[in-house]
């Protein structure tokens, strides 16, 4: 049964909450407007808080739900790592949307919360603290993702989960490479502006 969870997690991850929410709410396609990133931050710009919250919760759920199912089936840490990674990759490279997905922040948070609610809380607290101090969403995501493997190792002491988290963090940082250039040049947009 658990062997089916990896492809199911990928397919669930491939459901773009941003695109689906935007279509249902008759908003512009987030892949073609604003930052052209199908994520909650761009949906916030295009459709407001309600659409952004729905997108955020949808992206988190598609990372969390497969992990909860795997845990209910008493999956090993290796299986949990594979399931979480599949959901995350599905978000980044969704089969249903031409393999053009988002940056993975909310889905990664869902996966990490599926590993342990304490890890999810630690990552979310880090994001909020950096966002409060810097007012830069992408910087908050980058710092939270850099610290996530350390949180997983410290709280769970699991090599498979730490390695999977490090892989997700590396992909998340890669997906933010344009944001990193804008942060370094002082051109990255700030929250609330």
For 72-97, the pLDDT digits (tens) are 999 999 999 999 999 999 999 999 88
Q: Provide the pLDDT for residue 38.
A: 87
Q: Provide the pLDDT for residue 61.
A: 97
CA 153 – CA 137 distance, rounded (Å): 25
List the chain domain ranges. 2-185
In this prediction the pTM is 0.92
Tokens of 3: 């062997």
Look at residue 61 and give its three-state secondary structure.
helix
Q: Provide the pLDDT for residue 148.
A: 98
Q: Which residues of the chain have pLDDT under 70?
A: 192-193
Contacts of 61 (CB under 8 A, 6+ apart): 110
Counting Cβ atoms within 10 Å, is residue 26 exposed (0-12), middle (13-18) or buried (19+)? Answer: exposed
Q: Provide the pLDDT for residue 193.
A: 58
Tokens of 182: 């804008």
Q: Provide the pLDDT for residue 188.
A: 85
189 conformational bin, left if phi > 0, alpha if psi -120 to 50, beta if neither: beta
């Amino acid at each position: 049964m658990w062997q089916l969870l990896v492809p199911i997690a990928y397919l669930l991850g491939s459901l773009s909450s941003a695109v689906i929410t935007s279509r249902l709410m008759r908003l512009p396609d987030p892949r073609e407007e604003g930052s052209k990133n199908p994520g909650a931050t761009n949906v916030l710009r295009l459709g407001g808080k309600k659409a952004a919250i729905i997108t955020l919760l949808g992206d988190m759920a598609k990372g969390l739900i497969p992990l909860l199912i795997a845990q209910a089936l008493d999956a090993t840490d290796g299986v949990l790592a594979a399931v979480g990674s599949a959901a995350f990759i599905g978000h980044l490279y969704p089969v249903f949307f031409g393999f053009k997905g988002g940056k993975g922040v909310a889905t990664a948070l869902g996966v990490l919360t599926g590993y342990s609610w304490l890890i999810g809380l630690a990552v979310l607290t880090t994001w909020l603290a950096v966002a409060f101090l810097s007012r830069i969403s992408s910087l908050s995501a980058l710092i939270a993702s850099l610290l996530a493997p350390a949180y997983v190792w410290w709280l769970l002491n699991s090599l498979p989960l730490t390695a999977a988290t490090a892989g997700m963090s590396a992909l998340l940082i890669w997906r933010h490479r344009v944001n990193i250039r804008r942060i370094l040049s002082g051109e990255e947009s700030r929250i609330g502006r």
